[in-house]
Amino acid sequence: MSQKSPIAKGKIILLLISLVFCFLASISVGSVYIPFGELIDTLLGTSDNIAWQQIIWQYRLPKALSALFAGSALAISGLLMQTLFRNPLAGPYVLGISSGASLGVALLVMAGSMIGFGATQISNAWAPALAASIGAFLVLLLVVLIAGRVKDSATLLIIGLMFGSATGAIVSLLSYISEAKDLQAYVIWTLGSLGAISYPQLLIIIIAFLIGISLAFSQVKALNAMHLGENYSQSLGISIKQFRLIVILATSILAGTITAFCGPIAFIGIAVPHLTRLFIPTSDHRLSILLCGIVGASLLLGCDVISQLPGSDYTLPINAVTSLFGAPVVIWLILNKKSSRVQV
């Protein structure tokens, strides 16, 4: 690919610095005020304030790490889907992963309470994660079975959307007949949360992240060839079916795990690949996977800071923040870019 210019290198360093900045900002804000110096001391293990140690090590650090991995994973799966479908509107959830996960959680919380368990389970971090995983996995299984049979990816996209509609309908039915408190518990899950994660869940997220990233990187050649579409890729010796399967698998592992533990976090997956391209235009997926990972992580950490409403005791749902603050930013960036192009 074309030689990386020094400007691009400078921009990459800038991105890394902003990632570190967002990470530290995410750790420093919260309902309890901890001075920045103390924060660093605590992280280095030289502080003796037990309460602050507890807050930072048991609450803020796992939350910041999960924002880091979640943002990264969602952005990369968004990139994978946009490349696979050659569609700028594709995102991690086009294959119905979030619909499957939502159905799993809806069944657990709403249908489960009808037969005697459920609402209490939502407070347990594992139960909704397990339900979401099973739901997402079943949808994935269907998609993979179908992916082996269809000729073009556009069909797959439509089938993914149909799964979304069908599972959405079941969730609607469940919400219609379920009790208010169960419905509320479900709605809260759909708003997304980064705070419910502690180290054991984090470990699973990191393992899934590494597997997903490795699968994605194993396909960089095919991903690059997909700039030319499926026919050209095939003529370059790439097995489209195998490529499609591995990319679907990588996306499902990345986005599925995050959805299971954090809920369906919208916006990051679709927007970050575009933001990244605006900032550093590159056609080489070896670079764009990394860049999307960094930008996605920074963005979700940034949104996490905003959701803490610095200086207050309230926390906003992360899903609302990502869309509310992210969408105008992206619109502004894209319009800005377009107008500057016209001027040139």
Partner 1 sequence: MKQPILTAENLTIGYVHKKAQKVILSNLNFSLYQGEVVGLLGANGVGKSTLLRTLSGVQPELAGTISIEGKPLSSFSKNELAQKLSLVLTDSIRQSQLTVYDLVALGRIPYTNWTGHLSPNDHQKVAEAIALTHIQYIQEANLDELSDGQLQKAMIARALAQDGEIMILDEPIAHLDIPNKLDIMKLLQNLARTTQKAIIIATHELELALQMSDKLWLLECDSQLTVGLPEELALKGEISKIYGTHAAHFDISQGVFKLHTEIKHHIHVKGNSAETYWTSRALEKLGIGLKDQAENSLSWHDDRLTLKWQGNENTFNSLGEVVAFLTLDQNEKTSSN
- Of the pair 2, 312, the CB lying nearest partner 1 is at 2
123 binds partner 1 (CB under 8 A): no
Residue type, 279: F
Give the separation between CA 234 and CA 28, rounded to whole angstroms.
50
277 binds partner 1 (CB under 8 A): yes
The residue count for binding partner 1 (CB under 8 A) is 26
Check residue 280 and give left, alpha or beta (phi > 0: left; psi -120 to 50: alpha).
beta
- Of the pair 236, 331, the CB lying nearest partner 1 is at 236
**13, 173, 203, 228: which one binds partner 1 (CB under 8 A):** 228
Nearest CA-CA partner of 212 in 260, 252, 263:
252
Total Cβ atoms within 10 A of residue 237? 9
Say which residues have a Cβ less than 8 Å from residue 120's Cβ, sequence separation at least 6.
Answer: none
184 binds partner 1 (CB under 8 A): no
Site for partner 1 in 28-87 (CB under 8 A): 86
274 binds partner 1 (CB under 8 A): no
Query: What's the residue count for the chain?
Result: 344
CB of 246 to partner 1, least distance (A): 12
**53, 175, 190, 234: which one binds partner 1 (CB under 8 A):** 234
11 binds partner 1 (CB under 8 A): no
CB of 216 to partner 1, least distance (A): 12
Instruction: Please identify, among the stretches 22-30, 163-171, 213-221, 327-335, the one whose residues bind partner 1 according to the rule CB under 8 A.
Output: 213-221
What's the token pair of residue 104? 């799993």
Give the gyration radius of the chain's Cα atoms. 21
Give the separation between CA 221 and CA 137, rounded to whole angstroms.
27
What's the token pair of residue 66? 């999960």
Cβ proximity of 110 and 118 under 8 Å: yes
281 binds partner 1 (CB under 8 A): yes
Give residues in contact with partner 1 (CB under 8 A): 1-2, 86, 88, 218, 220-221, 224-225, 227-229, 231-232, 234-239, 277, 281-284, 286
